[in-house]
Amino acid sequence: MVKAVLFDFDGVLTTDKTGSLTTTRYLSKRTGIELSRVQSAFRRFNDDLTLGRTTHAQVWDRLCGDLGQQLSLDLLHEAFASTPLSQRMLQIARALRSRYAVGIVTDNKKDRIDLLKKLHKLSSLFDPIAVSAEIGAGKDSPRMFLEVVHRLGVRPDECIFIDNSRKNLVAPGALGIKTIYFDDERQDFDALLAALHAHGVIVGEA
């Protein structure tokens, strides 16, 4: 019996495929710096940021040096806030909340998710919100999902995890967590709801 439904964040609960795309696109538009250059500057810090080995504040001066402009850190926070949430997916999560634990498992930067949690009151709907930068492991590691299962007090086979990348379904699947691939390109909610139904999950009214 399913007791918990876990959502990836970017590409599932948001309409942009990745958080890096959201952030770098915003900064490029606001500064006039070519997108590919912004993406390149951020890319070299991405793994360390995502696994919590550093923070944006700690690397900001180096990032600005690579970009050739001294930018305010507030601009980065604006970029985080520009993240476009998927209202349809949030509606599904709310509809599940009455019967199941509903959580987030995401490879992400702590400062970004902290800002979005506060801005959108995500903690009122999702618990736990497991962030790679806080756990020190990503979705390619069993550790990430074992931590979430432990927090929930359920067995792996009592959980479903939804992600828009098939490679991110490998580690949870190996633990016995039921997995669902969400086609973010097609925004295929009918297929998602059908897959949930096939696992016996009831999606009521939000």
User: Over the stretch 83-112, which tens digit does the pLDDT of each residue have?
Assistant: 999 999 999 999 999 999 999 999 999 999
Nearest to 74 by CA among 15, 21, 141, 26: 26
The C-alpha atoms of residue 42 and residue 102 are separated, in whole angstroms, by 31
CB 178 within 8 A of CB 197: no
pLDDT at position 204 over 90: no
Long-range contacts of 181-185 (CB under 8 A, 24+ apart): 182/8, 182/11, 182/12, 184/11, 184/12, 184/15, 184/17
- Give the residue-averaged pLDDT of 17-39: 97
State what percent of residues in the chain have pLDDT above 90.
Answer: 98
Q: List pLDDT tens digits, range 144-172.
A: 999 999 999 999 999 999 999 999 999 99
Q: Hey, what are 7's tokens? A: 């959502």
pTM score = 0.96
Strand partners, 180: 162
Place 206 in a pLDDT band, splitting at 50, 70 and 90: low
End-to-end, the C-alpha distance of the chain in Å comes to 21
Average pLDDT value for residue range 131-136: 97
Q: pLDDT tens digits for 192-202? A: 999 999 999 98
Measured between alpha carbons, how far is residue 72 from residues 31, 125, 150, 155 in Å? 11, 32, 39, 45
